[in-house]
Chain A
Amino acid sequence: MAELYLSSSPHIHSGETTDKVMRAVIYSLLPACGVAIYFFGLPALLVLLTCTFGCVATEAICNRLFGSKLSIADGSAALTGILLALNMPPNSPWWLALLGAVIAIVVGKQVYGGLGYNPFNPALVARVVLLVSFPVHMTSWTTPSPLGSGIDAVTTATPLGEWKTAVMLTGKLPENFSAGMGDYFVGNMAGSLGEVSALALLLGAAYLFWKKIISWHVPLTFLLTVVVFSGLFWLVDPSRYPNPLFHLLTGGLILGVFFMATDMVTSPVTGKGMIIFGFGCGLVTVLIRLFGGYPEGVSFAILLMNAATPLIDRYTRPRVFGTLAEGKS
């Protein structure tokens, strides 16, 4: 008889493993990557490849330097790379993308001890570090130039940026403001690689819901909070504040809601905690968009709530079976 295995129970497993989870999230981002390449062409592809391979290579180098086990097979580094790329402007220079990848893995992840120990979403850490260090590079947007369309990409502003500038200068919404909702939905606008196509992102999100990798708690509360708060302001002064649909479809909201805020490592573990987290993200996003210096606030909102996650977890412990809620006897 061959040698027997002994262990503490249970002796069966669901079969779902970390690398499978990471791979599923990567698959879910492929439509968005495809749309980005379609609208922004070769530069977008270069940013994607640089970020992804940059992250994987940095992770491998860190593993070596820190003497830890090679962890690139779990797919988390590649996922960080793709998420980072989707947060970069399409015409980012290669060195900026590479720098972002190194920052994401080293500062965002490995200094804390690698996967599972990082308090902040690594891709967002990199994006924000780049944004404050290279504001010009990180905010120079181009118009989409679909493959084969022959249209040259020209420098322009994102819809959110356009609105912010208009409001600052004139105190009013720009002319022809609500014209582009359909374009915004499919992604025919200026922005980061992954900000542009709500459609492609929603497709990926649907896949994640179907695979039960993300739950409704964070995305739904995040979106609802954005809609409610931006809606309130819109109702008060529609000539100054854009309508909620504009908020939903532009900027990094959809990407942030479904792919960044739902990052398991950096969001709460309890249902109640996730709801608080989603609400906080939505509130901070609207406040920054409407009153902050930056046109976009999703990244900052999520990072801020990442920091609050341990606290949220602490105060949203579930009621243990057989114990009564405090105050009752």
Chain B
Amino acid sequence: MLAALALGFAAKKFAVEVDPRELAILELLPGANCGACGYPGCSGYAKMLAGGDKIAATCPPGGAAVMDKIANIMGFAPISADPKVAVVMCQGDNRKAKDKYIYLGLADCQAAQKVADGPKQCPGGCMGLGTCERVCPFGAIEMTPDNLAVISRKKCTGCGKCVASCPRDVIKLAPLDATTHVLCNSNDKGALVRKYCEVGCIACQICKKQAPEAYEIENFLAKVVYENYDQAPAAVEKCPTKCIRDFMTSYPEGSSFAEVMVPLKQKNEAA
């Protein structure tokens, strides 16, 4: 009893004055402490905002809705956060892409990468040891039964933690609206890619011929030009190695994520 009283007294006496706006902002934030804003956790971010005079950094997981509310609390000019989503630019799971050796050891991509640059022969391919899955604060990443990382477009908040954790830079942040991607990360020539991967980009130019505005080819690898993403789906069916995928239609093979997402723009127009 005495101890409880003492504790209660101490809590009152030594309480730190907190800016009520800081608490209000903290309540709005997702609370994942992912660090995507560049501050130590959600509380560090809230403190920075409450003590500043403008929105110095955005909260990617919170997205536009949260940013608008924060601007409202603080009386700042609203800024538009461009919603992003992380995409694994590879479909070369253990059945589709070859390994150059059998890896024994720590099930971690960064550790495996230090053993002769990782087992997957494709230097840019997903090794499937799940490092990104473990760092994701939102549970948005799954490993398929054939060891390919797949990111849910619904759960991903674009915080970028997985991007930083991948030793092969297979994961890239892309606009949420753009649902069509070239899922390959190999800069090797087509003939070499064919040798080690069934679903790699061989830089055959067919996509570019189909939708010239939507694709560019650099270092033997096709990429979607995201400004013109709406034209990209036209080439999906034409790709000979099926490395272009429209996530509107389906996720990579083996993924349990099956939801079909309506792109953000169309959603906004409908609303």
Contact = CB atoms under 8 A, between A and B. Distances in A.
A235 B102 CA distance: 68
Contacts of B104: 5-7
Interface string A6-19: 11100000000000
B106 A6 contact: no
B111 interface: yes
B101 interface: yes
B116 interface: yes
A39 B104 CA distance: 51
- Among A5, A6, A7, chain B packs the most CB atoms within 10 A around the CB of A6
B260 interface: no
Contacts of A8: 105-106, 111, 114-115
5 contacts: A3-B101, A4-B101, A5-B103, A6-B116, A7-B115
Nearest to B119: A6
A8 B114 CA distance: 8
Contacts of A4: 101-102
Interface class of chain B by DSSP = loop
B102 A5 contact: yes
A6 B105 CA distance: 9
Contacts, number: 24
- Among A3, A4, A5, A8, chain B packs the most CB atoms within 10 A around the CB of A8
Given A4-B101, A5-B101, 8 more contacts: A3-B101, A4-B102, A5-B102, A6-B101, A6-B115, A6-B119, A7-B105, A7-B115
A5 B101 CA distance: 6
Interface in B101-129: 101-106, 111, 114-116, 119
Contacts of A6: 101-104, 115-116, 119
Contacts of A3: 101-102
A229 B218 CA distance: 80
A-B CB proximity, top 9 nearest: A7-B104, A6-B101, A7-B105, A5-B102, A4-B101, A8-B105, A6-B115, A5-B104, A6-B116
Nearest to A6: B101
A3 B98 CA distance: 12
Interface in A133-183: none
A286 B114 CA distance: 54
A177 B105 CA distance: 61
A7 to B, nearest CB: 4
Contacts of B105: 7-8
Contacts of A5: 101-104
Contacts of B106: 8
A306 B24 CA distance: 44
A303 B52 CA distance: 54
A167 B104 CA distance: 63
B101 to A, nearest CB: 4
Interface string A209-241: 000000000000000000000000000000000
A128 to B, nearest CB: 29
A6 B101 CA distance: 6
Contacts of B111: 8
Nearest to A4: B101
Contacts of A7: 103-105, 115
Nearest to B106: A8
Contacts of B116: 6
B28 to A, nearest CB: 35
Nearest to A2: B102
Nearest to B111: A8
A4 B111 CA distance: 18
Interface string B146-161: 0000000000000000
Contacts of B115: 6-8
A296 to B, nearest CB: 35
A4 B115 CA distance: 13
A6 B104 CA distance: 6
A6 B103 CA distance: 5
